[in-house]
Amino acid sequence: MSTPTSYKDRLSQVCDELNWVKEQFGEVAYAVVSALACQRLLLMAAGKWQEPMAGDWDAELSRVAQTFGEGGEAANLADFEKRWFGAEAALALVSADTDKVKSYVYESAKIPEVRGASGLLQDLNEKETAEELHKRLGMPPEWIIYAGGGSFLIVTPTELADQIAAEIARLYPAKTLTATITAISQPVSLSDLHSALGEQVRELGFLLKVAKLQRKVMPYFDTLPHGEFCAVCNIRPARERYGDTPDLLCASCTQKRKHSDKRRMLNKFIEFLNGEPQLREKYFRGASPEAASWAETLADIGQLGDGYVGAILADGDDIGQFVHSLETLQEYHRFAHGLEKAIEEAVFHSLATHLHCHPLSSPRGRWTHFHPFEIIALGGDDLFLIVPASIAFEVGLSIVEEFAQAKSCVLPSDLQDHHWGMSAGFLICPDHFPIYFMRAITDELLARAKQETRRKLYTQQRVPSEQAREPESYIDFLILKGAATPRRHVEELLSVLYEPGERGDVRLTERPYPLSRFRELLDLAGQLKGAGLSRTQVQAMAQALYRGREQATLEILYRLSRLPEQPRRVLDDLIQQSLRAENALFPWTEHPGARPPYRTTFLDLLELYEFVQPLQGEGGDDDAS
Ligand SMILES: [Zn+2]
């Protein structure tokens, strides 16, 4: 059915009359009862409403509100729904998810378009869609139970569900020209909404996947046979110039570039800092927040790390599992928002702690300073950042550590004994690396880390002797020094880089690492640097490891014995540890049955050395220079 303007106004009016519910029972309760009231209105308008013989609508509706509010009494929802709405469900859930986000965001190799594309999607996700739905259909924003990470969950009157889904699907290509979103709707009973939401969300997720597979219509652009192609994407016909560059851009790339000037994510960061005055002062070092801009290119960021940048990709472990075990709409709402806040705070806190605002070598207009990081994605449970290589491991690791500590704030009490954490992939590479490859490689690193996290969780649940240990998230990393763009997969690269010799008996890495072990290694690397171990000594030991197992062992032990006392003392702990461990003879650990069987963490430690700040004994200064 269509909704003439007069109905739109009446919907708004009905919702306004229920504003008291918001104050008394919260947004979720308000969303449910205002959607019920609208459904009733729409059924009346369509001549499909049948008033029951007995019952007081207002009184019963406020009992429903209580039920969906925090700790309210439980109304008989099934009875209410049946008497007032008959056999048909009164409400529906609309679920939507952005299509092919990566190809839209990483289509360009240049940072302004990537940032702009990411920002456009985020604005649509977090703000504009709600505004448009309100403007066009009179939908109150509270019906959106969750919007983040490119997806939506919306509770709606059944009569409006298809229209809302269609409007969202129309909006994305209309606003972005090239990005699309898949939206579906499914009726849901009030009782399921109240006590079996996880199950519903799981089903919607499945339907959404099917709908995505069936999608055919993609935005299409006519290309003239002799037309010029866009200088940025080289895919679509060029249309216009933007700013002071001579390049001809297509409409979509122009729009992305325009959007990159917006400061939405930076404003969030600064807002966070305003709540942390000490951190704010430390971060800005006297510079004015209004005079600080994004880095123009990744080279600005790379220049702080000798031409190298670090890409950090992380996301929450088994978030889907948690969502599916949530029962009520209220729990879902709280979990989704808590999760987002935990990630945002971990990211902002870590960036502000380990980095600081830098002066531009030549001021650009009103900008005298720049922020030495790039937030490409931060939403839902997903984050992708780029920072100077010299501090990347510390920034990434402290995000993951801080997120792990947010467990008690985010998880409902009955889920507290589940594993909670974030797996991550860190890549160090030259700053001119195409951003698309950074993302592709960190995707693989993250997948390897996640696989290990899951494998350990699985074993822990089944092997009694392992159950006492707290499960941990894993971290994988890769340091690429070559200038060439790698075409290989990570797994292949690791065997090329770390399995030297014909015998195939050694692998010079133990990645991926559990969180606590990676912290130990990183701190150890920092202490070695602080104790004055020189780069030459590091390189000599690293090279020795490539000379075959026996030769390497002898040479490493010889070199260790000749080290100055301070760095040797730092390494002594590591060696003692290795001597006590089973199947270990420094620097090797034997993994019976694995191929290759002899592995070492020593080269990983030596490689980390270059990308850590020196630590003096315990603690010390870990700020980027
Ligand atoms: Zn283009």
Question: What are the tens digits of pLDDT across the range 525-581?
Answer: 999 999 999 999 999 999 999 999 999 999 999 999 999 999 999 888 778 877 777
pLDDT per residue as tens digits for the range 241-271: 877 778 888 889 999 988 887 777 888 999 9
pLDDT for position 233: 84
**Nearest by Cα to 79 from 54, 44, 114:** 54
**Nearest by Cα to 376 from 109, 130, 96, 95:** 109
Confidence band for 625, pLDDT divided at 50, 70 and 90: very low
Kindly state the average pLDDT of the residues 296-312.
93
Instruction: Answer yes or no: do 503 and 361 share one domain.
Output: no
Q: How many CA atoms are closer than 13 Å to the CA of 448, on its beta-carbon side?
A: 21
Give the Å distance between the CA of 252 and the centre of ligand 1: 6
Please report whether residue 614 resides in a domain: yes
pLDDT for position 483: 58
Please report whether residue 246 resides in a domain: no
pLDDT for position 392: 98
DSSP-derived letter for residue 183 is E
Q: How many CA atoms are closer than 13 Å to the CA of 227, on its beta-carbon side?
A: 18
Displacement of CA 141 from its chain's centroid (Å) = 24
Instruction: Determine the Cα–Cα distance for residues 155 and 550; give it in Å rounded to an integer.
Output: 66
Give the Å distance between the CA of 247 and the centre of ligand 1: 11
pLDDT for position 72: 59
Instruction: Determine the Cα–Cα distance for residues 530 and 533; give it in Å rounded to an integer.
Output: 8
Give the Å distance between the CA of 235 and the centre of ligand 1: 6
Q: Hey, which residues does 94 pair with through a beta bridge?
A: 154, 185
Give the Å distance between the CA of 256 and the centre of ligand 1: 9
Helical (H) or strand (E) element with 567: helix 565-580
Give the Å distance between the CA of 238 and the centre of ligand 1: 7
Instruction: Answer yes or no: do 20 and 136 share one domain.
Output: yes
Please report whether residue 329 resides in a domain: yes
Instruction: Answer yes or no: do 75 and 180 share one domain.
Output: yes
pLDDT for position 4: 54
Instruction: Answer yes or no: do 453 and 585 share one domain.
Output: no
Kindly state the average pLDDT of the residues 152-171.
97
Percent of the chain with pLDDT over 90: 63
Instruction: Answer yes or no: do 486 and 558 share one domain.
Output: no
Give the Å distance between the CA of 249 and the centre of ligand 1: 5
Please report whether residue 250 resides in a domain: no
Q: Of 498, 515, 547, which residue sits at a domain end?
A: 498
Tell me, what CATH number does 289's domain have?
Answer: 3.30.70.270
pLDDT per residue as tens digits for the range 30-61: 999 999 999 999 999 999 999 888 889 999 99
Give the Å distance between the CA of 113 and the centre of ligand 1: 9
Please report whether residue 234 resides in a domain: no
pLDDT for position 460: 81
Q: Of 498, 521, 536, which residue sits at a domain end?
A: 498
Give the Å distance between the CA of 115 and the centre of ligand 1: 14
pLDDT for position 623: 43
Q: Are 472 and 514 contacting, i.e. CB atoms less than 8 angstroms apart?
A: yes
Instruction: Determine the Cα–Cα distance for residues 606 and 618; give it in Å rounded to an integer.
Output: 19
Instruction: Answer yes or no: do 270 and 302 share one domain.
Output: yes
Give the Å distance between the CA of 217 and the centre of ligand 1: 20
Strands laid side by side in the 358-364 sheet: 292-293, 367-370, 358-364
As a whole number, the mean pLDDT across the chain is 89
Give the Å distance between the CA of 426 and the centre of ligand 1: 29
ipTM value: 0.98
Confidence band for 488, pLDDT divided at 50, 70 and 90: confident
Please report whether residue 276 resides in a domain: yes
Instruction: Answer yes or no: do 411 and 478 share one domain.
Output: yes
DSSP string, 436-497: HHHHHHHHHHHHHHHHHHHHHHHHHHH-GGGTTSPP--EEEEEE---SSPP-S-HHHHHHHH
Give the Å distance between the CA of 124 and the centre of ligand 1: 20
pLDDT for position 199: 93
Containing structural domain, residue 430: 265-498
Tokens of 148: 């983040």
Instruction: Answer yes or no: do 481 and 504 share one domain.
Output: no
Please report whether residue 120 resides in a domain: no
Of the listed ranges 4-18, 124-138, 340-354, 447-461, the least confidently predicted one is 4-18
Instruction: Answer yes or no: do 293 and 431 share one domain.
Output: yes
Instruction: Answer yes or no: do 441 and 508 share one domain.
Output: no
Give the Å distance between the CA of 255 and the centre of ligand 1: 9
Ion ligand 1: residues, CB within 5 A, are 230, 232-233, 236, 250, 253
Give the Å distance between the CA of 248 and the centre of ligand 1: 9
Please report whether residue 244 resides in a domain: no
Burial of 207 (0-12, 13-18, 19+ CB in 10 A): middle
pLDDT for position 164: 97
pLDDT for position 208: 95
Give the Å distance between the CA of 431 and the centre of ligand 1: 23
Residue type, 291: A
Give me the sign of the Cα torsion angle 188, 190, 194, 196.
negative
Confidence band for 509, pLDDT divided at 50, 70 and 90: very high
Count of domains in the chain?
Answer: 3
Q: Of 475, 498, 521, which residue sits at a domain end?
A: 498
pLDDT for position 231: 86
Give the Å distance between the CA of 371 and the centre of ligand 1: 27
pLDDT for position 619: 42
Instruction: Answer yes or no: do 486 and 507 share one domain.
Output: no
Instruction: Answer yes or no: do 392 and 541 share one domain.
Output: no
